[in-house]
Structure 1
Amino acid sequence: MKETNHDQSVGSLFRQALEKKMTSDLSRKHKDNLRHLYNHFMLFLGDEGREIPIRDLTTAQIEAFLHRYDSSSTHYMNKRRELSVLFNTAARLIDEKLLTVKRTEPRRIKAKLNLAYEKEQLKPILNFVKANHDNLYLCCLLTYGCFLRPHEEIRLLTKKHFKAGNTEIHLAGDENKGGKVRVVYVPDYVRQELEPVLDGIKRDDNIFSLCKTPFNEAYFSKQWSRQKKGLLNYGLIYPNQTLYSFRHSAAIDVFRRTKDVYLVQKMMGHSSVTVTLKYLRSLGEFNTEEMREAAPVL
């Protein structure tokens, strides 16, 4: 008897769902996360579990799998969301609703306040990093001055990305998180540090490795972790300040000087102003003074 779409096994449908997502317009990180989750879920189900029809999966089975990610509410909900992506894709393949993941227990994620650098922290931090690691220093400058994300957008920069006398960086849609062509301005203080590097490499060379092959994805995370010990020992940063804090600080600086959320959206490369508003609120903006001045008056 021929197997119908609705009787396809979990393993078969999930493999098709994963293949479909791998060819879609998703970031490499998102694809890697989906691939890892798929592998873990298939191992969890075992040989017998992978052969059952997908409609026979129970909510209890899914919750048992998700409980492996109980280390934090954020971790749990991220895995729940990724599993939903695969289930929803599988559901479209058989043209049927699959509510198994939606029926699992959600977890409430506590709002986490991202900590930007205070203005007086910036130069001492940058001076310390410059004295200890040239590439990380350049990454910090680009994160702050150009609003780029360090681990993908900055790490993969080559000489050919710099245009208009090195005053602009041009990123294609598949080279930045927003998925659209992005052009960012390069401030003078960034350009002064960049130009000696650009002058010494070829068009397709990476600005950090100085050859065509970029450093691996963990490169800046590892370099920052090493420098963070010294930064903390000298009291230059707080424990919950990170490499991304340069980007947070830049967003706050522009917003406080201009009060223009749409300008911040454009400079940050956010997909919508709603994303920018959430971002600013997570950084502690809008502050109490602004709320006091804007409060209704009787």
Structure 2
Amino acid sequence: MNHTKNKKSIGLLFQQALDKKLTSDISRQHKNNLRHTYNHFMEFLGPEGRAVTLKKLKTSQIEEFLNRYNSSATNYMNKRRDLNVLFNMACKATDETLLTLKKTDVRRIKATLHLAYEKEQLQSVFEFLKANHTNLYRCCLMTYGCLLRPHEEIRLLTKKHFKLNNTEIHLGGKENKGGRVRVVYVPDYVRHELDPVLAELKRDDNIFSMIPEPFNNTYFAKQWGREKVKLLSHGLIYPKQTMYSFRHTAAIDVFRRTKDVYMVQKMMGHSSVVITLKYLRSLGEFNTDELREAAPTL
């Protein structure tokens, strides 16, 4: 039985691995990444490379493939991570433990900082967006007020997600990065903007496109890219400030007012408080010395 498994070709094993992941409970973005990585790797191997068994795949081949994504450490490591998912599932299907991929280079990724907004900036930025791009304004306002992620949570919201007279947003486990059912409070200033919109929609209509079909997954990124040029030229934002900066700014505001990491975790939708601690540390809210001083003593 195992002998038969081990004779399966790389092409077949990776196809089976991809098919299994595409039917699993992972985000749409993760599925797209795996699909792209699979297609690119199979194209790289060619017909002859796809026909051999997994044991014959060499580390040097994988390194040659990964080196195509040398534009940045992030690009390289993301491709390595996605390939590793498929490779590990292929190994599992053959009951083999192969270190071929693990022997490839590991590169350190430098954290990308989405610089938080200063309090005095927010009002001016929101006023500019409201006057120039209504959908982008509402998205950024919700990113700040509801601490939702703009591209895969806010972009896909429909009227049915809003409950209790639009004071709450209810997301299923598959609709947010944390993977759990999430209830989000909607502040009055967000409701003031959304109530007239929601009143005109049918239950399944998207709050931005106004029809059941949402805008594509790059919609807000492209709109922000266009408006950011104007925001920078007017001196309203700094170069490292992004759409995600609204979420970071909100997290900082909540933490500084409450000093409650668990409250921040709940509002951010993080799956664990460890993620929240790392998140706050990356934003400069506390350092190792502060954590050491706060640790319990005997």
Please state how far the C-alpha of 1:112 moved relative to its aligned partner.
3.3
**Map of 1:261 onto structure 2:** 261
Which residue is equivalent to 1:72?
A: 72
Taking the aligned partners of 2:91 and 2:65, their CA distance within structure 1 comes to 19
- Residue 54 to residue 114, structure 1, CA distance change in 2 (3 Å): same
The answer on 1:23 being equivalent to 2:23 is yes
| RMSD of aligned alpha carbons | 1.9
Aligned to 2:108: 108
CA distance 1:106–1:287, change in 2 (3 Å): closer
Q: In structure 2, what residue type is equivalent to 1:78?
A: N
For residues 85-143 of structure 1, the C-alpha deviation after alignment (integer angstroms, 9 at most, x for no partner) is 00111111111112111011111122333311111111110000000011111101110
Give the unaligned 5+ runs of structure 2.
none
Q: How many Å apart are 1:290 and its aligned residue?
A: 5.9
AA aligned to 1:266 is K
Q: Per-residue displacement from partner, 1:36-81 (whole Å, max 9, x unpaired)?
A: 0000000100110111111000111100000001001111111111
* 2:67 pairs with 1:85: no
CA distance in 2, matches of 1:67, 1:89: 23
Number of the residue aligned with 2:49: 49
Counterpart contact for 1:112–1:282, Cα < 8 Å: no
SS at match of 2:110: coil
* Structure 1 residue 250 corresponds to structure 2 residue 250: yes
Secondary structure, counterpart of 2:197 in structure 1? helix
Q: Separation in 2 of the partners of 1:183 and 1:291?
A: 30
3-state SS in 2 of match to 1:4: helix
Structure 1 residues 137-148: aligned runs within 5 Å: 137-148=137-148
TM-score normalized by the length of structure 2: 0.95
Q: Is the 8 A contact 2:114 2:244 kept in 1?
A: no
Does the C-alpha gap of structure 1 residues 253 and 137 become closer, same or farther in structure 2, counting only changes over 3 Å? Answer: same
Q: Is the 8 A contact 1:87 1:98 kept in 2?
A: no
2-structure distance, mates of 1:131, 1:291: 43
Instruction: Tell me, in whole angstroms, the C-alpha distance in 2 between the residues paired with 1:244 and 1:271.
Output: 18
Look up the equivalent residue of 2:108 and give its one-letter code: R
Look up the match of 1:240: 240
Q: Which residue of 2 aligns with 1:208?
A: 208
Is the Cα contact below 8 Å between 1:168 and 1:183 reproduced in 2? yes
Residue 293 of structure 1: how far off its partner (Å): 8.2
Extract unaligned runs of 5+ from structure 1: none
* Secondary structure of 2:184 counterpart: strand
Which residue number in structure 2 is paired with residue 283 of structure 1? 283
Please say if residues 206 and 214 of structure 1, whose CA atoms lie closer than 8 Å, have aligned partners that are also in contact.
Answer: yes
In 1, Cα distance between equivalents of 2:292 and 2:33 = 43
Which residue of 2 is the match for residue 157 of structure 1? 157
Q: Structure 1 residue runs of 4+, over 4 Å off? A: 287-295
Partner SS for 1:254: helix
Aligned length: 294
1:38 aligned partner: 38
Q: Percent identity?
A: 71
Q: Which residue of 2 aligns with 1:176?
A: 176
Equivalent residue letter for 2:198: L
Distance in 1, matches of 2:226 and 2:40, equals 31
Decide whether aligned partners of structure 1 residues 186 and 111 sit closer, same or farther in structure 2, where only a CA change above 3 A counts. Answer: same
Q: What is the CA–CA distance in structure 2 between the aligned matches of 1:62 and 1:38, rounded to whole Å?
A: 13
The Cα of 1:214 is off from its aligned counterpart by: 1.0
Partner-residue secondary structure (3-state), 1:170? strand
User: Residue 148 of structure 2 aligns to a residue in which SS?
Assistant: coil
Q: Distance in 2 between matches of 1:5 and 1:294?
A: 54
User: Offset of 1:3 from its aligned partner?
Assistant: 7.2
Q: What is the CA distance between 1:292 and its match in structure 2? A: 11
Q: Secondary structure at the match of 2:237?
A: coil
SS in 1 for 2:11: helix
